Amino acid sequence: MSINVQSHNSFSREKAINLLQSGKLVVFPTETVYGIGAVAADDKAVASIFALKGRPSFNPLIVHVSSIAMAQKEVVWNERAELLAKKFWPGPLTLVLHRNKHASVSFLASAGGDTLAVRMPDNQVALALIEGSGKPLAAPSANRSGRVSPTSAQHVLEEFGDSVPLIIDGGDCKVGVESTVLDITGERPVLLRPGGITQEVLEEILNQKIMRASATAQGDLKSPGMLESHYAPGLPVRLNATSVDSAEALLAFGPNHPAGASRVINLSEKGDTVEAAARLFAALRELDDTSYTAIAVMPIPDIGLGVAINDRLRRAAAQKP
């Protein structure tokens, strides 16, 4: 592998933190997907994330913290935040809250808005970097804007090559889809992005119904991650395939799949949505090969992590802008 990739066992923590503190970007593993991180208070470093990703600057970044206390310095904490953070942090839940008056986070990271998205990742490397920096790290998924998120260091290399100074290889991400994004600024919590923690589980803990924000036209987006076409491979994606063309690649799910595809990857032979989520993005990358005409995707049950999987697949299938 390239010289900018270092194993999570052997990377120099001090060097990584020095890079971050001098305004450089470091790619690190989280339990969901790999993130490309910068000190969130550093405007220039945050700007370089947008530049490298080719990301529209209206799309705000998630701010990663290593403790509840660190989050409380950046956002206006509330009871629901306390309840959810105590239960799910570290873990794949991002909370959108009002920005604290004294927040250190760059306004660019929150795209000029008055809210901030915070989460505490469940990964020792990520936590060590945040703790070592002493400040939150802004880190979007480490992919070019509009492409599927990376779940291995190899995927990150395919996206950025050596244009980032350090990629810390922590192996395959165990969750595999991005965090759930929940807006708890208002009376009713709003699910902005289904993800690693399901709506049902959140409703149970909150003892309250959660509204599902619908993907609207660009412009009045509550969470730009809801852009219709967002997680997009280059090939057309055909959903709910019950039969397959010989020129197509098939993304299968469950013990039985239609015969005849050029290539098959099964997300979970035993039909487990957790296993399928962990494999989803790697499989999409692998099948996104111009020797096939399209990626046909078998139906996946809309329960548990299936909700997040189907959300990403719908975006992958949406017309590209």
Residues at the site binding ligand TXA, with contacts judged by CB under 6 A = 30, 32-33, 35, 59-62, 92, 94, 96, 110, 113, 115-117, 121, 139-141, 178-179, 181, 192-193, 223-225
**Closest to 195 measured CA to CA, from 143, 254, 121:** 121
Identify what 223 binds: Mg ion, ligand TXA, none; CB under 5 to 8 Å per kind. Answer: ligand TXA
Identify what 224 binds: Mg ion, ligand TXA, none; CB under 5 to 8 Å per kind. Answer: ligand TXA
Residue 242: alpha-carbon gap to chain centroid: 29
Query: Closest approach of Cβ 266 to Mg ion, in Å?
Result: 25
Residues 317, 282: Cα–Cα separation, whole Å: 16
Name which of 244 and 308 has its Cβ closer to ligand TXA: 308
Residues 287, 251: Cα–Cα separation, whole Å: 8
Environment class of 159 (CB within 10 Å of its CB; exposed 0-12, middle 13-18, buried 19+): buried
8 A C-beta contact, residue 60 and residue 163? no
Stretch of 107-115, 139-147, 197-205, 276-284 contacting Mg ion, by CB under 5 A: 139-147
Name which of 181 and 251 has its Cβ closer to ligand TXA: 181
Name which of 4 and 110 has its Cβ closer to ligand TXA: 110
Query: Closest approach of Cβ 298 to ligand TXA, in Å?
Result: 25
Residue number of the CB atom closest to Mg ion: 141
From candidates 66, 106, 141, 185, binder to Mg ion by CB under 5 A = 141
Identify what 193 binds: Mg ion, ligand TXA, none; CB under 5 to 8 Å per kind. Answer: ligand TXA
Identify what 181 binds: ligand TXA, Mg ion, none; CB under 5 to 8 Å per kind. Answer: ligand TXA
**Closest to 64 measured CA to CA, from 124, 114, 149, 126:** 126
What are the strands of the beta sheet with 295-297, ordered from one edge? 237-238, 295-297, 249-252, 263-266
Assess 30 for contact with Mg ion (CB under 5 A): no
Name which of 61 and 153 has its Cβ closer to ligand TXA: 61
Residues 307, 94: Cα–Cα separation, whole Å: 17
Residues 84, 65: Cα–Cα separation, whole Å: 15
Name which of 115 and 143 has its Cβ closer to Mg ion: 143
Identify what 268 binds: Mg ion, ligand TXA, none; CB under 5 to 8 Å per kind. Answer: none
Query: Closest approach of Cβ 311 to ligand TXA, in Å?
Result: 11
Name which of 62 and 280 has its Cβ closer to ligand TXA: 62
- Please state the three-class secondary structure of 114-128 as a single string: CEEEEECCCCHHHHH
Name which of 121 and 233 has its Cβ closer to ligand TXA: 121
Residues 257, 254: Cα–Cα separation, whole Å: 7
Name which of 20 and 142 has its Cβ closer to Mg ion: 142
Query: Closest approach of Cβ 22 to ligand TXA, in Å?
Result: 21
Q: Which tokens in the block code for residue 41?
A: 């208070």
Residues 106, 218: Cα–Cα separation, whole Å: 24
Query: Closest approach of Cβ 282 to Mg ion, in Å?
Result: 15
Identify what 95 binds: Mg ion, ligand TXA, none; CB under 5 to 8 Å per kind. Answer: none
Q: Say whether 283 sits in a helix, a strand or coil.
A: helix
8 A C-beta contact, residue 70 and residue 136? yes
Query: Closest approach of Cβ 231 to ligand TXA, in Å?
Result: 10
Residue with tokens 């939150």: 136
For 177, half-sphere exposure in the C-beta direction (CA atoms, 13 angstrom radius) is 26
* Residues found near Mg ion in the complex (CB under 5 A): 141
